[in-house]
Each structure stands twice: as C-alpha cells, then as structure tokens.
C-alpha cells in the first residue's frame, strides 16, 4: 500500500499562498519558520516553501491538482468568496463520489474541493 507522505508546494507569491491555506481554507499551522510553513492536515505533511530560482528547478510552478475533502462545500466556498480569496463562486458539480468544485490558489495551483457522499 502506498500512502501520501507529504505534499510540498513551491509557491509564488509565498505569503499570499500561506494566507490562502491558513485563513481561507482554515488549515491550522503545525510548524512555521522563515521560508517554510507546514500545515496540520492529519497523517500527510502539507508544506509550502517559497518559489525561488533554486527551488524552481526542483519543482517548477506547474500542473498539480490538490484534492481536499470538506464537510460542507457551500460553506467553504462562501467563506473563500467572502474573504476575497476567489473572485467568483465556482460551479459545484455532483459526481458519483460527491459534490466537487475547482478553485485556484494565489500561486496558480488547482484545488479540487470535494464533499464526499455520506
């Protein structure tokens, strides 16, 4: 069995991206230091580092989809909209696995918010 051990974003703009995940999605910060923020999301490590010339060679700002399961997708999207993290309310689709909406963080990474079928 393979489990996701960590997910690291190399982000630009760094602080705005950290604010999006911490204040917008309300992820609690587990550990932070200059140039590094790690969030408490359970067993998987989710961290953000600044995108710099040295890190861009390791992980260029490219295609990465991050899936977050949420309890109530409408509440999360309304909060992101009210806090101006998203300019328009994304369309919510209903899939066999639950409700889903796509948004983009300040560094251009695509997020899929999923409210799983109970």
Overall average pLDDT of the 44-71 stretch: 71
User: Which residues, in sequence order, are CB contacts of 29 under 8 Å at separation 6+?
Assistant: 22, 37, 38, 39, 40
Mean pLDDT is highest, among 51-55, 76-80, 101-105, for 76-80
Q: 3-14: per-residue pLDDT in tens?
A: 566 788 888 899
**pTM exceeds cut of 0.75:** no
**CATH class of the structural domain 6-116:** alpha beta
pLDDT of residue 60: 47
Domain segments of the chain as ranges? 6-116
Eight-state DSSP code of residue 49: E
């Amino acid at each position: 069995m393979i489990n996701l051990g960590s997910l690291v974003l190399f982000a630009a703009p760094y602080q705005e991206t950290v604010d999006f995940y911490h204040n917008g999605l309300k992820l609690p910060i587990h550990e932070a230091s200059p140039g590094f923020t790690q969030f408490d999301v359970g067993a998987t490590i989710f961290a953000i580092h600044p995108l710099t010339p040295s890190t861009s060679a390791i992980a260029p700002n490219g295609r990465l989809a991050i899936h977050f399961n949420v309890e109530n997708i409408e509440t999360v999207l309304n909060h992101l909209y009210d806090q101006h993290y998203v300019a328009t309310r994304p369309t919510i689709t209903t899939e066999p696995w639950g409700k889903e909406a796509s948004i983009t963080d300040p560094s251009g990474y695509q997020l899929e918010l999923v409210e799983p079928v109970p």
